[in-house]
Structure 1
Amino acid sequence: MDGREADPISVSESSHGSPPVSWVEHGLGAVAEWLLSATFERFDDALRGALEETARLLHVEVATLHWSTGGATEIVAGGKGLDRSLEAMLARAHDDLVALTARNVRWFADPSSVARSTEAPRFGGIHALGVLRTRSASDERGLLAVWATDARPLSHSERAQMAIVGELFASGLARRRAEARGDDLARFHRVVADVAGSLASAETDALDATLEGALGSVAEAMGLKRAAIFLLDAETARFRLAYASSPAVRFQRSDEVLGQVVGAHGVERLRSGRGLVATPSSEGEGGVTAVVRPILLGGKLLGALVAESGPGRPTDAAALVRYQCIADVVAQSLARRPAAPTSSPRPLSATEMRELERVNLLRALEATSWRIGGPSGAAQRIGVSPSTLRDRIRAHGLQSPMAPSWRSRRR
């Protein structure tokens, strides 16, 4: 991470109630920021698993990441219904994606300087929810992130679901990397998130003795002498203390308890959904030392809120999306993956490989106006000699649109 905070999600909406495009950009920005962090330089099993799991949870038809290092590009794809023909279509649209994302190069450096489009771009027959080119154009390491569905229109609910992709992806990837290191803190966060997900799915209005006992067991199992779990009530936009290991804390106002841990500014950050987790501690007799990210009570509020927009209200749609990712699906996102390795994608058939080569040749030829030789010709672009390129053009039966047909030559 470079220390810059993600662009806060705008809460302003049109009178028609259409979700802001910035939701999607926020989600893509979170994914890209994680991927471009200094912790790793390549795709690995954790990254691939987090991407595929997130795509499945959100029922995303297509989820692709084009990762470029030193000119080499790798595509990782996940989601339901993804096949090679669709992946090839995305590959054909690569140049279009670069052009579309050129205007978003400054997104991280100065979010306010980038004008946000009112419509999602369309390219190659795919309806793109958002595209982001991170870091600077001169950086040899770059990321092109695309989250898309087919060309059918998206409902408000689907757009809202897509907005949480950044939270899901980031939390899933962080958990996998922490578990690989045997990090106890990751285990604590996972357990608390599972509890939060259970509370949200049950739409619990009151904490009974059984629930308090379960939360207490979690804290004791982790060796926490001071721990607290808060719930965010979406109707009042106030925090409610769900569990506290210290009896003295239970008689304090929730906002005061949070203020002791994170300060007044930290409470506002939590309420605005920008995420804050205090590290748990098992030593000392001070105040509460563990705070989980706020969760939303009542998972069914999503459908009601996307149907009516009310800027400025505690239950406005933007705030809902921020908390919904914690309340509704984070428990599933953080569920353990099978220990057995997943199977690799099937190898391409000879016919599929030939089609991919044909598409790649055609794209290079069209980009160079069918110029084969020279420093800016198609042969140089592909990395083969002009004679080899001519042989491949003949083998695939490709013909320049400017070349005369055999019928015109016979006249």
Structure 2
Amino acid sequence: MPTRREPRSLSSESDAMLEALFTSPSVGLALLDADLRFVRVNALVAALDGAPIEAHVGRTVEDVMPSLAPVLVPLLKGVLERGEPRLDVALPTERAQVLASFFPMRLRDGSRGVTVVCVDRSGSGDASLLGRLRFDDLVARLSAELAEVSPERLDRTLEQSLEAVATTFDADRALVMLLDAQSATIRRTHEWHRADLEALPGLEVPMPVAAFPWASEKLFAGQPVLSSNFEGLPEHAEAERLLLHLDGPGSTAIEPLRVGPRTLGIVVFSWRERARDWTPLLRARLRTVAELIATALDRRELERTAHDRLRFEQLLSRISTSLIEASAARLDDAIGSALRMLAQAMEVDRAYVYEIDEETATARSVYQHAEPGVPEIKTRVWSFAKDAAWGLAELRAGRALVVPRVEELPERAAAERDVLLAGGVRSLLIAPMRVGDRLIGIVGTDTRREIAWSDVVVSRAQLVGEIFASAVDRRRLERLAAERQRIDALLATISTALIDAPAERIDEELGGALARICVELGLVRALVMRFDRAASTFRVTHHAGAPAAFDVGVDQPRSELEGALAPTLSRGVHLVRTAALPPGRLRETWERQGIVGAAAAALRRHDDVVGALVFLSREERAFEGTFRARILLMEDVVAHALARRDAELARRAAFDELERMKAQLERERDYLREEIRGEHDVHAIVAQSAAQQRVMTSVEAVASTSASVLVRGETGVGKELIARAIHARSPRAERPLVKVDCASIPHELFEREFFGQVRGAIAGALEDRVGRFELADRGTLFLDEVGEIPLEMQSKLLRVLQDGALERIGDPRTRRVDVRVIAATNRDLEADVAAGRFRRDLYYRLGVFPLEVPPLRERAEDVLPLARYYLRRSVKALGRGPLELTRVHERLLIDHDWPGNVRELANVIERAVILSSGSELRLDLAMPKRARTTPVATPPAVVPSAARDEPEKPAPAPIRTESELRELERANLLAALERAGGRIAGRGGAAEVLGVRPSTLRDRMRAFGIEARHYRRS
């Protein structure tokens, strides 16, 4: 058994050689794998069975070549098994002598395979029998494919056909260029080129045929243009020479694509850097290919024309049916929908209908459709006499305007050309709308790209115009009939709305009425202008429509509007034409905006002119007929509505002012009642002591001024009473004194309490709140415990004190107040200023006139008068019988060491009244007991029964030193903190236990160095 040889593997040199063989037109080459499936095949091998190259790859020999399989399969298997080549085997073909050689080899993936090399021995080159067979098979295949392909797939099939033909002819490039008969241009539509080449530049742009006169003459005569190395071109064919030079030196064949006498375009084949011998056989084959392509293109054009005609006829049928069946109410929508269908079917950017006025030679836009992204035509009125004289002449003659390229309009249409180009229009088709012999308008379409209008569209343009003319004329007649009824109904509705509207809605109703009139009647603007006879000015108070002259809300002198509104001062409706206005801003504005005139009527109250009702329009006919006659009715309704509104608003304004004043008085009343309930009797100030008399002298001196007063003193010495005494003796005594307890206000609420807030300014602000400064306007503001004001609030307070200006929270409006400020404090403000806790400038602003109120311990002469005053007040408040101070009582009060708080004396007297059951005041039971630092245990004494009925004589009060008093006060504070568990403020806190303010308690704790945290319960 022979030894099996290993097949050769492909090397880089083998790859290069195979590529050369695969592209050779005279050698057939195929690669097959171990399953006898084709891996790759070239054109000559594919021609053995007539199937295209792509039909071989991946299929077996039995599938693709059933007639040759009985010979090929044993040969291929033998080569694979033995690993040895078989050379020069004659294949049994009927039309050619083909020798085949078979070589074992390894494919790229390492598997075994076979290479088949075929040589045609029946002839040489294109004239060989195999070459003829290949071309005949190609023609047959192309004929079948191009005949069966749909118009939509023809472009792709044509490109594949160019590749097949170019490969058969061994050409480097093949392309088809089609002729546009209307524009007399030619451009490339299909191209194939070798993979290592690029598409020829510039041929995708339409080129005028006239630029190539020599070639055009030959091609339109049905003759080809054949050139090898530019031979065969006459000297005057310079343009043709430049065109052929795009692909370099070589050979080029150009065949005309003709169907009968019509030339559709050309097919071009080129061989770069190779000269071809233009044999009769090659020229015949080129002609055959050109005929195949021309036939396919002509068939597509015929099918498209038939399809377009059918589609356009169906479109016109749908449009006509929709317009005929549309009701009067839906006719406008139906015409708009018809324009949209027309634009989409014709693949244009815009479609529109203009009505033509023959008398003025103007066209007015009535319907318009623009595709998405395309702007509508802004010019609503065209003057044909000025802008489109040529177009009007064509339309009057009943001819459609067909413009594939706007740039090529004749010179006599220069005006139309400039207008269209300025609007971006490149192609245009306009059909006349005629009723009998009368031109009533146009229906037009345009695009921003050049388009060759098809014969189908051009031939049906007149029919399109007739369909739309019928619908537009019908709409005009129906509108004329409905216009009077609509205007009457509109004005009746407006009149009813204004008559029935409450005063607060008259402005809204009037604005809506003017807007409805503008919309319904197509007016530019409607205005109500009020006239001020004293100032001789007009002011626009109500308006609707597009802005057009007349400044809104601005007083305009009558002299500036003399031409437009002067006639309205007399009775009747006056038409004011723009052309009749005197030169000036008003006329220039109206002319610029296309306003032709206005209709105006005077608004009268009794016999006085109070304003004018004005309507502006771009059409004079807008004021003709029914509407002009109804303007006087409208004027009467508007005048009465405005008069009723003015009277009602004036009444409400007066009522609101009364309510405001009432509310202010009620606030002041409530505040005064609160003060009365506080029982501050400024006339009961006791001043028998020299210290207190000095204070009252100062009070009398400062009361009549507006100076700020800073009242200082210990807690409970009567600082508020002094402040009220100053207010009561001042010129502001008839206005309220508003007290602010600065120690009781949370830090975050200071600004609201001082300056107020508007509704919604902060969360929970459900209504407006008046601040204390506003309440104290033209009165006095008493700032108790002023040292407790936060540092960040002090700057805002300073601004009010300096400027008398404030803003409520949430309200940018500045309010002015006139307030006198009296401040009080028990703190050392100088120390706070030095420590940075109080602003120095605010301290000086508040302390213009400082007043020091002495403590009770420095007012010994005032103890008994004060006690008698508090006794009278307590007796009255508690409803007790008359009680008097005895000498014993007076001795007790004088001998007691009062620390300085007047409130303690008042509390002692009130307790004594409460403990008194008869006519004797039990002051002995109410006097405070001074606690000792070390308690002494004393056995109970035996009191005789007789002595129990006698009043107990008070023991003489012990005299204590200053240090003992401070130690006693410290012990008292510690006891209160212990009882309250370390809490200072709130219910049950140490401050409540001691009967002092939390801030006062904190000051005392700081003085003694006491910290509350040491006494808090865990």
The alignment's TM-score, normalised by the length of structure 1, stands at: 0.28
Say which structure, 1 or 2, has more relative contact order (CA 8 Å, 6+ apart).
1
Higher fraction of strand: 2
The alignment's TM-score, normalised by the length of structure 2, stands at: 0.13
